[in-house]
Amino acid sequence: MTKPDIPSLTARLLKGDKLACAKLMTIVENDPADAKKVISRIYRHTGRAHIIGITGPQGSGKSTLVNQLASHLRKKGSTVGIIAVDVSSPFTGGAFLGDRIRMKDLITDRGVFIRSMATRGCKGGIARATCDAIKILEALGKDIILVETVGAGEDEVDIMNASHTSVVITVPGLGDDVQANKAGMMEIADIFVVNKADREGADIAVCELESMLGLTDKCGWKPPVVKTISTGSVGINELADRIDEHFNYLKENDLMRQKLKRRAEMEIVNIVKDVIARDVEEIKKSEAYNKLIEEIIEKKIDPHSAVDEILKMVKKRHVKE
Amino acid sequence: MTKPDIPSLTARLLKGDKLACAKLMTIVENDPADAKKVISRIYRHTGRAHIIGITGPQGSGKSTLVNQLASHLRKKGSTVGIIAVDVSSPFTGGAFLGDRIRMKDLITDRGVFIRSMATRGCKGGIARATCDAIKILEALGKDIILVETVGAGEDEVDIMNASHTSVVITVPGLGDDVQANKAGMMEIADIFVVNKADREGADIAVCELESMLGLTDKCGWKPPVVKTISTGSVGINELADRIDEHFNYLKENDLMRQKLKRRAEMEIVNIVKDVIARDVEEIKKSEAYNKLIEEIIEKKIDPHSAVDEILKMVKKRHVKE
């Protein structure tokens, strides 16, 4: 593979070239070192888009809702970027590709850019790669960026923290496991959606959420609960309005800086992890590393003490660079 | 809190003191730096136990099965340690504490040591802490260590790789999501269990697994599929026999070293992550770090370039030490 011409690709990106955008996204996914070259060139062209994170459990109709929301935003004249993140594990994540097929209306719309990202095939952390992908869409000039994740593991929470507005989707009757853990979502959500609101129990779900929300404090913002039926486009208008209101609230109440600070701190931790992981991968090729592994197996050194030795090697690498 | 006397605690541990064992487990959970002090003292006393990892989705009756297996092993005269790991996310993990209550028969048995570990309350990575906890149980002198996890995320796979024998549990009729992703489990499992085998579809589940297993190659070991009904103790004998056979297979075919190598490599990566995370936490307290965050927010520097600066600070820390 020829080395990508990052200066030329980023120049094209800033002129709105979607092909360059797709290529740059692949680059930041594949190589954390190249990601730095890309992001350092485009970072000052970011910061104008409204980034909206959307999460919820499997089967909550998330992708259809994202689809509907994107169509609505397009009709109102905004350009839209969509990143669908699949932090998959062998026990979950089955229906993901199927969901994407439903987006075919949007794919033919030139004002929309859609990208799926998955842990598999992504060298380095998915949260780091997603944050970089968001910046690329910002530099492409998208007005609104929708970032869709499944569930709320560590990576997903990081990804939600990269957004200005976090939307958490639930559906009526998802069972005790989910109900019992809604508390964990209270911290993330700026807006709640009860999707499939034509199902039995929708009003109870809304009531429950609202009573729990009485206990939260998000700098004066009370997360609204919106009922939607994404298959029938019900409630999408209201959801879009609430999202807009939240963004304005952030700006009017001087809360943007706080959001950006949290994002910067999260990004730094994830980039550090990636850089160190890359260093360790390099060190794994060395004879010294293999000798250490042998010594661990033979109980001549314990793994913690072996790491001391490895970190000395990492340090030497950084000195050389 | 007074600083724990690690030399005295480890000395007591090696004499079989269960209270010292519990205290040391808390220490390795709470402080990765102290973990090093503990493990470096006990590492050469590890390596005699048979470590068995057991995973499966929620609702598969995993804890009851672990309970039954432990009772069976106790009757055959082995001492047993159990570590139940909860890599919880807000969307999952509800029933965990309830499961533990079922273990009350075992808790009163002096030959069994039971420990629950959770991501919450664990400073540093859960996989790192679990590997350290396993070593503590080995040093306590347990013959067999059962490590129970839920699901198969990155942490869980790491934890399974810390074991000699990996048991993956499924139940009939768990739905398409799980079925579609059994492939991911093929790599982990040395033994499959179809639990709740009195349910409809059990034989189909066994057939499906066996036909998929035709495609795997685990150095000549063909993972058996065992049917169990853990609430009625059915199949526990056979499962224990298969686990024994697998351990013997490893030893007789010179495969132990390969397992230990994989474990050592996994442990090193996780300890490195923990050490670096701790370094970053320290650096977060510095003025230089806060200045960098401000510069990121003001777009004077991008997050990747900021990480370069932070790694220079990490390097200085290691030089000082």
Set out the domains of chain B in order of their start, with CATH numbers: 47-253 (3.40.50.300), 268-320 (no CATH)
Percent of chain B with pLDDT over 70: 86
The pLDDT of residue A278: 84
Answer whether residue B93 shows pLDDT above 50: no
Average pLDDT over residues B17-24: 95
* Closest to A134 measured CA to CA, from A86, A80, A186: A80
Question: In this predicted model, what pLDDT tens digit does every residue of B36-82 receive, in sequence order?
Answer: 999 999 999 999 999 999 998 877 888 889 999 999 999 999 999 99
Interchain contact, A303 vs B57, CB within 8 Å:
no
* Closest to A181 measured CA to CA, from A89, A83, A55, A63: A55
The pLDDT of residue B181: 55
Q: Does B120 touch chain A (CB under 8 A)?
A: no
Helical spans, DSSP H, in chain A: 6-14, 18-30, 32-42, 62-75, 96-101, 104-107, 126-140, 154-161, 176-180, 182-186, 202-213, 236-252, 256-283, 287-297, 303-320
Q: Which of B 208-247 lie inside 8 A of A, CB atoms?
A: none
Q: Does A43 touch chain B (CB under 8 A)?
A: yes
Residue B217, both tokens: 């190659």
Question: In this predicted model, what pLDDT tens digit does every residue of B21-30 receive, in sequence order?
Answer: 999 999 999 8
The CA distance from B203 to A72, in Å, is 49
Cα atoms found within 13 Å of the Cα of residue A70, Cβ hemisphere only: 32
CA distance A64 to chain B (A): 18
The pLDDT of residue B275: 87
Which chain B residues are closer than 8 Å to A58 by Cβ? 177
Q: Does A28 touch chain B (CB under 8 A)?
A: no
Residue type for position B273: K
The pLDDT of residue A223: 92
Q: Does A260 touch chain B (CB under 8 A)?
A: yes
The CA distance from A58 to A178, in Å, is 11
Interchain contact, A271 vs B304, CB within 8 Å:
yes
Nearest to B94 among A40, A154, A176 (CB): A176
The pLDDT of residue A181: 54
Strands A80-86 and B50-56: unpaired
Interchain contact, B297 vs A257, CB within 8 Å:
yes
Nearest residue of A to residue B38, measured between CA atoms: A304
pLDDT: which is higher, B113 or A13? A13
The CA distance from A235 to A74, in Å, is 16
User: If DSSP codes are grouped into helix, strand and coil, which group holds residue B194?
Assistant: strand
Strands B165-170 and B191-194: parallel
The pLDDT of residue B146: 97
Below-70 pLDDT ranges, chain A: 1, 87-107, 120-122, 152, 174-184, 215, 317-321
Angstrom CA distances, B20 to A279, B3, B7, B16, stand at 37, 14, 11, 8
Q: Do A137 and A17 touch, CB atoms closer than 8 A? A: no
Answer whether residue B199 shows pLDDT above 50: yes
The CA distance from A69 to A23, in Å, is 26
User: Rounded to 5 degrees, what are φ and ψ at A98?
Assistant: -55, -40
Answer whether residue B139 shows pLDDT above 90: yes
Interface probe for A, chosen from B276, B280, B294 (most Cβ of A below 10 Å), is B276
The CA distance from A248 to A252, in Å, is 6
Residue type for position B176: D
pTM of the model: 0.76
User: If DSSP codes are grouped into helix, strand and coil, which group holds residue B24?
Assistant: helix
Residue B235, both tokens: 């199949």
Question: In this predicted model, what pLDDT tens digit does every residue of B262-312 receive, in sequence order?
Answer: 999 999 989 988 888 888 888 888 898 999 999 999 999 999 999 999 888
Q: Which of B 127-166 lie inside 8 A of A, CB atoms?
A: 131, 151-154, 156
The pLDDT of residue A56: 86
